[in-house]
Structure 1
Amino acid sequence: MSVLSAKDLAVGYDHSPVLENINFTIEAGDYFCIVGENGSGKTTLMKTILGLQTPVSGKVEFGEGIEKDSIGYLPQQSDVQRDFPATVYEIVLSGCQNTLGNRFFYSKAQKEMALTNIKRMGILTLKNRCYRELSGGQQQRVLLARALCATQKLLLLDEPVAGLDPQVTEEMYELIEDLNKQGHTIIMISHDIENVKRYATKIFNVTEVV
């Protein structure tokens, strides 16, 4: 079953495309990687898929049961984000914001979900630590747990191993692979094509469609 497709899509800024002629279909359970050099338009494509940018032309279509507000998103981290003064638990729980509706407080089920995803990422001992005190690898686990609170279906990951050392990079890839095996469809941006080849079921190279 298709969860997402791009049809004759062009993405860019101010009506000027940086990528054109984009066509692909992502099926449920895929581990789909978007690869290309830095500055090649990968993140622009990801933001267009998320609805954060309007396509220059063409369209992105979601499959049945997939909504833009039910996608788990792990963005690239900025220095400001890395220094965010909140606890691990608070950040992970914020992944439930899209399901708050008209309520002002998180439900018991949402709090339990946050705790479950903290455990899944192996960071329970860090639950009450301040996010900015953590290592890069620990922070990425926190953000992945947050993304899992937003979805049971589709994860969009923008350079999830950027800046991590080789051992932590391997651990992160294995975590993502496990999530894929558990039923999550993965869309990941990367310029690390050698590792991508080991894990992805489909690879989309943006340099081949410019």
Structure 2
Amino acid sequence: MSFISAQNLSLGYDRTVVVDNLNFKVEKGNYLCIVGENGSGKTTLMKTMLGLQAPVGGQILFGDGLKKNEIGYLPQQTVVQRDFPASVFEIVLSGCQSRMGLRPFYTEKERKLARENMERMGISDLKKRCYRELSGGQQQRVLLARALCATTKVLLLDEPVSGLDPKVTYEMYELIKELNDGGVTIIMVSHDIAASVKYASHILHIGKTLFFGTKEEYVSSNASELFMKNMEGGELA
């Protein structure tokens, strides 16, 4: 069975349906990019996969041994979150909370995991730094390390390069690719169609047009052509 599968899924909020009859599958090792117009339901889909929001209809199923608490999540940051007054190590370590159950403290094993993921993200030297003093790119690396403390299986990334300069954006995409090459399944919301086509194995397009398939199939589809026209026309932020 697939890691994650959506069957006749309908999504919405405030009693308004934004996506209807959505079907797709995510297999182990896939790199899925979710694209579409603003307000099409991309972030709502992320929240539904995480169990933070109930679907209007249909269902999301988890298989191949995947549990809901084994999904790492990197959300879009708010201004308040960027100014969070905690150390880098404290934030990365907090990714282990889903492993703790009713324990009120972290074990040495969890602290070791946090240190390993900081090293993996190249931020070990920032361990004692205050999070809010870091650059945008450094903060994203901290949040990736935090998400990796929650899972070795699936990462959900919501616009992970938003607000980053081109150099740091490239570095972040390459870092995510390395994680995927290392066996982590990636599901990423993105407005960057060029990067989606470059890095993804599969594309899920939601909005007025629904599409799910390989990136090669997407490039030659009507969904891709319409999306590019909308971008050129300034309909996307």
TM-score range, shorter chain: over 0.9
Structure 1 segments of 4 or more deviating over 6 A? none
- Which residue of structure 2 aligns with residue 22 of structure 1? 22
Give the C-alpha shift of residue 62 in structure 1.
0.5
Deviations 1:168-188 (A, max 9, x none): 000000000000000000000
* 2:113 matches 1:113: yes
- Which residue of structure 2 aligns with residue 55 of structure 1? 55
What amino acid does structure 2 have at the position aligned with 1:99? R
What amino acid does structure 1 have at the position aligned with 2:84? F
> Alignment length, in residue pairs?
210
Unaligned residue ranges in structure 1 (runs of 5+): none
TM-score normalised over the length of structure 2:
0.87
Determine if contact 2:29/2:186 at 8 Å carries over to the other structure.
Answer: yes
Give the C-alpha shift of residue 85 in structure 1.
0.4
Give the C-alpha shift of residue 15 in structure 1.
3.4
What amino acid does structure 2 have at the position aligned with 1:95? G
Unaligned residue ranges in structure 2 (runs of 5+): 212-237
Give the C-alpha shift of residue 64 in structure 1.
2.9
Give the C-alpha shift of residue 99 in structure 1.
0.6
Alignment of 1:95-174 (within 5 A): 95-174=95-174
- Which residue of structure 2 aligns with residue 92 of structure 1? 92
Give the C-alpha shift of residue 105 in structure 1.
0.8
- Which residue of structure 1 aligns with residue 224 of structure 2? none
Q: Percent identity between the aligned chains?
A: 64
CA distance in 2, matches of 1:59, 1:9: 6
Give the C-alpha shift of residue 41 in structure 1.
1.3
Choose 1 or 2 for highest CA Rg: 2
CA distance in 1, matches of 2:5, 2:199: 21
- Root mean square deviation, CA, Å: 1.1
CA distance in 2, matches of 1:132, 1:125: 16
- Which residue of structure 1 aligns with residue 175 of structure 2? 175
CA distance in 1, matches of 2:14, 2:169: 36
